[in-house]
Structure 1
Amino acid sequence: MRWPRQLMSLLFVLALLVGPPIVLLSLVGAPIQGWPTAAQAEEWVQNPLTEQTLTAALTIAAWLVWLLLAYTVTIRVLARLSATVSWLRRMPLPTPWQATAGGIAGAAVFGVSSHAIAAPPPPPTQPVAAGTLYEAGNLTPSDGDVLADAGISVAGGWLPRDVAEQVSAAAALVWLRRRRSYRPRPPGPPSREDSDLAPLPPTVAAVQAALANSTPPPTEPGAASAGSSLLDRPTVAGAFPRAGVGLTGLGAQDAARGLLVTSLLAGRHHPAVSVVVTRPVLAGLLGPTAETLGPRLPRLAVIDNLRQAAEFFSRDHPGRGLGRRDQAHRDTQEGTGQPGPTLIVDEASATDNADTLATLAITSAAVAVLGRWPAAETWQIDPSGRTHHQDGSGLAGLRMCVLSQITAIDLLTVIAHPDTAPPEPGTSGPSRNPALAGRTPQWEATAQDHPVRSGNDKRRVQLRVLGEATLLLDGHPVEIRRTAALQVLVFLAAHPDGADTRQLTHAIWPGLPRRSLTGRLYTTLSDLRATIRSTAGVTIIEHSDDRYRLDPTAVTVDLWHFHHAVRDATTTVATHATAWKAVIDAYPGDLAARRTWPWLDPVREATRRHVIDAHAALASASPDAREALAWLQAGIRIDPYNADLHTRAASALITLGDHDAADHIREGYTRRLAAAGIRPTDTADGTATLRDQPGIPTR
């Protein structure tokens, strides 16, 4: 607890303020006892160094030191009082309505009897629209600031919590795709140039970190999911006007981008088109990126005019086209029909095709017009995403997801199809990305800079990051109180050349301003150093020129041993099989297993691929088909989502004549993908693709 230390500090300061004056007054007396006479001054000039003058000088010096201490304490107290007064002035006071509600609640609490009273069931919750965390129409101006906690704020926008969770799921799917499509290559140096090891956009990392550090808000039974996406609920008319809504104000463009991202994320649950948008609107929302990113976005239809939208309704929603308006209206009201796509159009297109838009609005999940829309309601969107009636009558009861252009592009990148540009011949393994060529990734160690000692290493401190991350002293775990401190250790282990303050703060606290994180980093490092120093009596983190690194002479790191094993497998002149087995033996588990830090994925996948390469190489070099199969099965246990290993294992079983086992391994792989939320689909060229589904797990 902090209060005993604070009390001791207060007593110590009081002793310093009160003690010296009491001692000086009791032993010496008052510092000044009248002005010296002329005779005394003349005597002092002739003989300045007497016992009396020295005593007076020391007394005056002691009083000056005490005055300096008293001045410092007074200034600190006044500064603290000033800060407290400023905080009290800024503290929001309850509105009259809140005060009344609080009084009623207090009266109810103190006036209730001791007998249990059965409360009537709560009224059914009204449906809510994308980006809302409250019942439609029940928002008051004083509630707005409180509701900010129900979403995720990132640089350039605000997302409802469930939209952020869908972003995190889509990010996990990206890495699952990369794991599935990786083709083992001959073992090479630890340095990898695989282009698909590039980290995801910073906004995605910020969303993942924010979710990891937040607590899900409580939900009432039967209540709609907070911020649920439009396409998950056909009956959204209670919150989002069925006839469509015009979006104006400073946040209109950002809200349209949020609606685009939200609807495409929700559309991962359905094979049909999720968003229909006019070409000028998409160009205005995404800028020049619309030309390259738009065609890669699944379930997005870009049209030149609203008349083209009718074919998407008739094709993806049979029986719900323009000619079946009444039936579509009944299905939508009853909730039996699948919701149509979200329409986002500009004011000119809506004005020129008012009748068509009114018809399409019946079967759409939502219709948004960028600009005033006289035929329906118009909302004015502020930069925070809150909606206001155009006539100034107050809030419209809906907070929308708002995203800047850069933030929206970052989020759309993780749900877009990967670039289909064919790779160069012979580059199925290492990438020929010019941005990566000739550059050693920061997580790779070098034999010269980080020597690995033999088994009789006398260093007492060990850092294990392969598997469960643990710091050991003489084989016993050292308790690391702060999760951020453990993350610092793993990050420095993965970056043996060190990292500066900016790199550490951006990795551990992505998306937050650095000015607010430098002090937090220093506190974390100070606590970590103190823990290690008090436990082991050594300092394992070096700090020089604003760069932190692990001291290789004070700590052993299993990841560095693994890197050296990989390097030896590519440079040794001995039997390659022995070197490849050494790589496998040096890998007890995934890097920082069960940790979901956003920066981990590229390093973790690069490390895993070295082990997969070793298993595939041993299987290819083995003259015994059963031994080769055993190595392939061991590789599958390392990465159960890799398609190439499963294909090789099935082929090995067919070679051995065990067709039933080959079918079994194929079926098991299909079930594993289905459990992960994906399903393989054969294409014309015999390859396999993935279709997005919800519930993607992370490993």
Structure 2
Amino acid sequence: MRWPRQLMSLLFVLTLLTGPPIVLLSLIGAPLQGWPTAAQAREWVQNPLTEQTLTAALTIAAWLVWLLLASTVTIRVLARLSTTVSWLRRMPLPTPLQATAGGVAGAAVFGVSSHAITAPPPLPTQPVAAGTFDEASNPTPSDGDVLADAGISVAGGWMPRDVAEQVSATAALVWLRRRRFYRPHPPGPPSREDTDLVPLPPTVAAVQAALADSTPPPSEPGAASAASSRLDRPTVGSAFPRAGVGLTGLGAQDAARGLLVTSLLAGRHHPAVSVVVTRPVLAGLLGPTAETLGRRLPGLAIIDNLGQAAGFFSDNPSGRGLGGRDQAPRDPQEGTGPPGPTLVVDAASATDNADALASLAVISAVVAVLGRWPAGQTWQVDPSGRTHHLDGSGSAGSRMCVLTQVTATDLLTVIAHPDPAPPERGASGPSRNPALEGRSPQWEETAQDHPVLSGNDERRLQLRVLGEPTLLLDGHPVEIRRTAALQVLVFLAAHPDGADTRQLTDAIWPGLPRHSLTGRLYTTLSDLRATIRSTAGVTLIEHSDDRYRLDPTAVTVDLWHFHHAVRDATTAVTTDVTTWKAVIDAYPADLAARRTWPWLDPIREATRRNVIDAHAALASASPDVRQALAWLQAGIRIDPYNADLHTRAVSALIALGDHDAADHLRKDYARRLAAVGILSTNTALTTATLRDHPAIPTP
């Protein structure tokens, strides 16, 4: 229990606060007996180092140290009180209907029977990021507001739910593209240093964690196509006036950034320009990164003046020109195709080009003016994204997406993420992969000391993280009640050398303030330890120097066994097919399959690449082209999005003379890429020949 420790800490603090003053006052007295006289001052100048002056100096120093301690304690207490008050404000109160239902349930419990009722175990707690849902059935946002609009709050603003889903889908596509362009090379050490395994920005991780409960995992059938459809969903234009709108207020800049991100996400898979913005406006929204980041954003057109905007609208795929307002409806459901780009300009440009802007407003998705807009409506936007008419007549529309400069840059970086260039065989990154942060440079050596699973292993606990994460005791699953506790087990399995409090909280609850998560982590670990201790009678998680690690003498971990197989294959003196097969046999499924925890992606992909390397190595070493094809097909089943494996398989089929199968494989791969929203460039596959991969033997 924690209360004895808390009581002892309180007594210790009280002793420090009350003890020194009592001792000083009783032994020495007050620090100052009055201001020194002129004679005493002259005497001190003539002879400063006397016993009396030294005693007074030490006394004053002791009182200053005590004052510093007292002020520190006071500040900590006030901060804790402020946090408690904020938590009480956020605590949802039951509605009248819920209160009535609770009263009826209570009466039933206490009135029907006097027998003891066993309460069901608590539902697993899901990780909730700084973004939390606003609807009645979902958690409330971190700022304590109860909102009618569905959306999530992030550390740097607020976004509607559909925008958050598009962010999550775009992040998933980033990893699919990295998988697509990876080129297998001879198996390397378990702790890979591939430069394209860097994690996505923290804002994206927070959004993914907030959507984890409601977004289908990528491994489920249809999940990838669902993600693609979310990217195609229009999210701007319906709530904005046709003549354009001016944005003022403290949230105007943040709302413009939200409009920029939302429009680029909505047009992510369309070749046409989706946002037109003047250069000064973009510089004001994104700061120093505006020029470099703007060039990398697909669908963004940067103009120097409003006169250059007409060209982007005249080529609009909807077929609408710059004519009058009655030319075409702007609703895409009315049969004329999607609206034109979103246009964002400053007030000065809008005023100087009012007629041109009025024409552009007819065929645009949104025209947003940063400042007052006399020719149309002007909204005042508060920092939370709520809009009001400037004249105070009431609400002007739905809540806008608002993003700070840092948050918007994080999201735009993901949108603009370039397709990684295929790495050279055997090449590695110049620095250690941040995705594997937490491992020491001697990870392979320390992992070598960890016992691995063997046929005569006497340890009763087994942790399986390749596939569905499961903790087994004598072959039977142990119930882990908290999802966060299951994450802790998988995270520590992926980091054999352990992780500190910061790494665990940042991974499991991304985006939330770290100071508010320490207690949640301790509660999760305490519950997990109690469950394992009561079930298996062992302490599975060690804690030393603020680092948590799995006790290797108490549990066997399949991921550690896989890493040992990889290390054996990479350190073999001669090429040994058996060692590569051992790597494949030790990999039953992806790391934590069907789980969508954001921190998993870099480690999961690094693990998958090791087994893909093994398949490619076996295919290259096989003297028979049919056997080589079988290994390549097995590798494709591990990663059906990898272009290099498909290219090699097509070459093998051509070598066997089966051109129909090669053509079918190419088309099937193109359909798979299109299903997840990746624009296929089939050049590599359509031109694949035996010359591309001379290592594949001819029959």
Corresponding residue for residue 23 of structure 1: none
Relative distance call for 1:469 and 1:308 in structure 2 (3 A) is same
Summarize deviations over 1:555-581 as a string: whole Å, max 9, x none: 111101111110100112355211101
Letter paired with 2:674: A
Which residue matches 2:657?
657
Judged with a 3 Å threshold, the aligned counterparts in structure 2 of structure 1 residues 133 and 338 are, in CA distance, closer, same or farther, namely farther
In structure 2, C-alpha distance between the alignment counterparts of 1:584 and 1:175, rounded to whole Å: 22
Cross-structure match for 1:123: none
Instruction: Please give the alpha-carbon distance, in whole angstroms, between the structure 2 residues aligned to 1:169 and 1:285.
Output: 24
SS of residue matched to 1:327? coil
Contact 2:436 2:603 in 1 (8 A): no
Using the alignment, how far apart are the partners of 1:330 and 1:369 within structure 2?
A: 19
Matched-pair contact (CA < 8 Å) for 1:346–1:369: yes
What do residues 252-280 of structure 1 show as CA deviations (whole Å, max 9, x unaligned)?
10000000001111112533111100011
Q: Is the 8 A contact 1:445 1:496 kept in 2?
A: no
Query: Is the contact made by 1:192 and 1:441 (CA closer than 8 Å) also made in structure 2?
Result: no
1:232 equivalent to 2:234? Answer yes
Sequence identity, in percent?
80
TM-score w.r.t. the length of structure 1 is 0.73
Instruction: Give the 3 Å change call, closer, same or farther, for CA 268–188 of structure 1 in structure 2.
Output: same
2:430 counterpart residue number: 433
Deviations 1:370-426 (CA, angstroms, capped at 9, x unpaired): 111111111111000001111122321321000001100111111114177x78xx7
* Distance (whole Å) between structure 2 residues aligned to residue 133 and residue 522 of structure 1: 27
Aligned partner of 2:175 in structure 1 is: 175
Map 1:462-473 to 2 at 5 A: 462-473=462-473
Aligned to 2:375: 375
**Which one is further off, 327-336 or 611-620?**
327-336
* Equivalent residue letter for 1:167: V
Equivalent residue of 1:463, what SS?
strand
Structure 1 segment 497-646 matched on structure 2, within 5 A: 497-573=497-573, 575-646=575-646
Q: Within 5 A, what are the aligned runs for 1:171-250?
A: 171-213=171-213, 232=234, 236=238, 239-250=239-250
- Measure, in 2, the Cα distance between the counterparts of 1:376 and 1:520: 50
Give the equivalent residue in structure 2 for 1:264: 264
The 3-state SS of whatever aligns with 2:457 is coil
CA contact (8 A) 1:332 1:363 kept: no
Q: Which moved more, 1:485-494 or 1:677-686?
A: 677-686
Structure 1 residue 435 displacement after superposition: 5.7
Structure 2 residue identity aligned to 1:312:
F
Residue equivalent to 1:24: none
Per-residue CA shift, 1:265-313, capped at 9, x if unaligned? 1112533111100011111111111121111111111111111111111
Shift of 1:432: 2.7
Task: Check whether the contact 2:149–2:399 (CA below 8 A) recurs between aligned residues.
Answer: no
CA contact (8 A) 2:666 2:685 kept: no
Pair 1:406–1:568, CA change in 2 (3 A):
same
Q: Distance in 2 between matches of 1:485 and 1:89?
A: 26
Indicate the residue corresponding to 1:338 in structure 2.
Answer: 338
Distance (whole Å) between structure 1 residues aligned to residue 553 and residue 612 of structure 2: 31
Decide which of 439, 442, 445 is 2:439's aligned counterpart. Answer: 442
SS at match of 2:327: helix
1:438 & 1:604 partners in 2: Cα distance?
Answer: 10
C-alpha separation in 2, matches of 1:230 and 1:329: 20
Separation in structure 1 between the aligned mates of residue 212 and residue 413 of structure 2, nearest angstrom: 21
Q: Does 1:350 align with 2:330?
A: no
Distance 2:198 2:435 in 1: 15
Moved more, 433-442 or 341-350: 433-442
Q: Is the 8 A contact 1:350 1:357 kept in 2?
A: yes
**Mapping 1:26-425, distance limit 5 Å:** 145-147=145-147, 150-213=150-213, 232=234, 236=238, 239-317=239-317, 319-323=319-323, 326-328=326-328, 334=334, 336-418=336-418
Per the alignment, residue 495 of structure 2 pairs with: 495
Distance 1:673 1:317, change over 3 A: closer
Cα gap change, 1:472 to 1:327, in 2 (>3 Å): same
Larger-gyration structure (1/2): 1
Contact 1:276 1:342 survives alignment (8 Å): yes
Say whether the 8 Å CA contact 1:566–1:610 is kept in structure 2: yes
Query: Does the C-alpha gap of structure 1 residues 560 and 200 become closer, same or farther in structure 2, counting only changes over 3 Å?
Result: same
Gaps of 5+ in 1: 1-81, 100-131, 135-143, 217-227, 689-699
CA shift digits 1:84-104 (9 cap, x unpaired):
x9899979999xxx99xxxxx
Residues 202 and 652 (structure 1 numbering): CA distance in 2 closer, same or farther, change over 3 Å? Answer: same
> Counterpart of 1:596 in structure 2: which amino acid?
T
1:124-183 CA-to-partner distances (Å, cap 9, x unmatched) read xxxxxxxx999xxxxxxxxx9432672111101101011100100000000000111110
- The runs of 5 or more residues in structure 2 that have no matched partner are 1-80, 97-132, 136-143, 217-229, 689-699
In structure 2, relative to structure 1, the CA distance for the partners of 1:476 and 1:334 (3 Å cut) is closer
Partner of 1:224: none
Which residue is 1:452 aligned to?
452
Q: State the 1:455 CA deviation.
A: 2.8
**Secondary structure, counterpart of 2:367 in structure 1:** strand
CA contact (8 A) 1:484 1:508 kept: yes
Q: What is the one-letter code of the residue matched to 2:245?
A: V
Post-superposition Cα deviations, 1:641-671, rounded to whole Å, max 9, x if no partner, equal 1111111001001101111111121122122
- Following TM superposition, by how much is the alpha carbon of 1:433 offset from its aligned partner in structure 2, in angstroms? 3.3
CA contact (8 A) 2:275 2:341 kept: yes
Report how far residue 637 of structure 1 moved.
Answer: 0.7
- Aligned CA-pair RMSD: 3.4
Q: Is the 8 A contact 1:350 1:369 kept in 2?
A: yes
Are residue 669 (structure 1) and residue 669 (structure 2) matched?
Answer: yes
Q: 1:333 to 1:427 in 2, by over 3 A?
A: closer
> For the residues of structure 1 that align with 2:394 and 2:271, how far apart are their CA atoms?
38
- Amino acid across the alignment from 2:312: F
- Which has the larger displacement, 451-460 or 307-316? 451-460
Given the superposition, is the C-alpha separation of residues 677 and 453 from structure 1 closer, same or farther in structure 2, using an over 3 Å criterion?
A: closer
Secondary structure in structure 1 of the residue aligned to 2:147? helix
- In the other structure, the counterpart of 1:25 is none
Q: What secondary structure does 1:316 align onto?
A: coil
> Secondary structure of the residue that 1:188 maps to in structure 2?
coil
* 8 Å CA contact 2:387, 2:397 repeated in 1: yes
Superposed CA deviations along residues 205-242 of structure 1, whole A, max 9, x for unmatched, are: 000111124699xxxxxxxxxxx999827972xx3111
CA distance in 1, matches of 2:546, 2:354: 62
State whether residues 344 and 369 of structure 2, in contact with CA within 8 Å, keep that contact through their aligned partners in structure 1: yes
Classify 1:215/1:394 alpha carbon distance in 2 versus 1 (closer, same or farther; 3 Å). Answer: farther
Question: Does the C-alpha gap of structure 1 residues 332 and 326 become closer, same or farther in structure 2, counting only changes over 3 Å?
Answer: farther
Note the C-alpha offset of 1:440: 8.0
Deviation at 1:519, TM superposition (A): 1.1
Asked if 2 retains the 8 angstrom alpha-carbon contact of 1:155 and 1:203, the reply is: yes
TM-score by length of 2: 0.73
Matches of 2:349 and 2:373, distance apart in 1: 11
Which AA in structure 1 matches 2:429? R
Contact 2:296 2:416 in 1 (8 A): yes
Structure 2: distance between partners of 1:331 and 1:159: 23
Structure 1 residue identity aligned to 2:644 = D
Q: For each residue in 1:488-535, what CA deviation from the matched residue of structure 2 results, as whole angstroms up to 9, or x when unmatched?
A: 000000011111111111100111112221111111111111111111
**In structure 1, C-alpha distance between the alignment counterparts of 2:468 and 2:597, rounded to whole Å:** 14
Structure 1 residues 641 and 439: alpha-carbon distance in aligned structure 2, compared to 1, 3 A threshold: closer
- The residue identity in structure 2 corresponding to 1:648 is R
**Matched position secondary structure for 1:433:** coil
